[in-house]
Structure 1
């Protein structure tokens, strides 16, 4: 609107196929849009700008020998200004404005449209990164939910504690094994249900794991239940990073 143009086209450059994908358009027919979508780098006006990274003003469009799409003639476009969209020194697409009547595009218009192209390129990249982060977060949520179900429903006792021995999480099988419920367990330390000998053994295993020394697993460990009875276990321990 600021430049009073009749046609506007935004292409994003697909790095894998090296083709220009029409992302948005205004003032042209759907037939025209389909015709110019997917042009290769170096093909026609748009492809040349994507290849060279140099702005281009095309006058007498319908008579220009570089014209490769007859649909442009049908739209009776007289003049086009095409600029690259550049982000971090890389061409990410092109921006084109055009008129069906004669006019001039002075250097000020070229500079303005180039600046607009950079803003659009930044916005597209931010949207792409946001969508990527959203998908990653969605997959992590699904993965975490699946892990939680496996953790909680496992037949074997599983618990997680920090390097100081403070319990962070435990499953239902652990409750049955030691006699404490999860709410009690997450307030406890491994020392609370290990003998001095067992606690020292746990410390040795932890040290070896941290120093990446081999640990024979499973190993025997003795736990003291809530009712004071002793349970002899075959235990496997791993670091969570």
Structure 2
């Protein structure tokens, strides 16, 4: 039997990149997925690529809005009858040094990553605890472990997600709800491949495996955490980094 057969999963930021790779992995393992993202057209196209409304639906969602996240979850319940897995993946970057970063740039990143993950965690938990089962997977980053120059906003948000994950895991364990996090490192994407060559080379020199990760490799870890393969794990933070900054 497929690892997620008969289960329903919500993935924020699911229209592209790591989020879409997670959705692909889940669908292959029998799940029905709901993609929440800001771009309705891109999200609908992603859902169609996954197989259409029988297995994947698209919902416009701004994760900084509690009401929109709540609507996303209720759409899932209406469409598929259950909420078994919540993946809080939506994110943005607004990189700048301390001297030049604006308050707006700081707030935007904190609101999407940290507040958005808080909305997703607490609202999904409210549904899951009623039935005594569920899994929440939060996407942090290696930046939340070591801190990255030019990313005080992003590093703070991603570190905050780790703390949020551990605190929520302690609160929800006795309700049958598991909460874990993933910290990806340098993952190949349009954004990372557009960085200056010098920056790319510097990051590559820090990776013992001497290659970037692929979105599918992060998705495989999300699948592990979402499934019964990790049934005795909660409050864990798994690094997907090729050994960078061990």
State the TM-score, normalizing by the size of structure 2: 0.23
Between structures 1 and 2, the one with greater helix share: 2
Normalised TM-score (structure 1) = 0.23
Higher fraction of strand = 1
Of structures 1 and 2, the one with the larger relative CO (CA 8 A, separation 6+) is 2
Asked which structure has the greater CA Rg, the reply is: 1
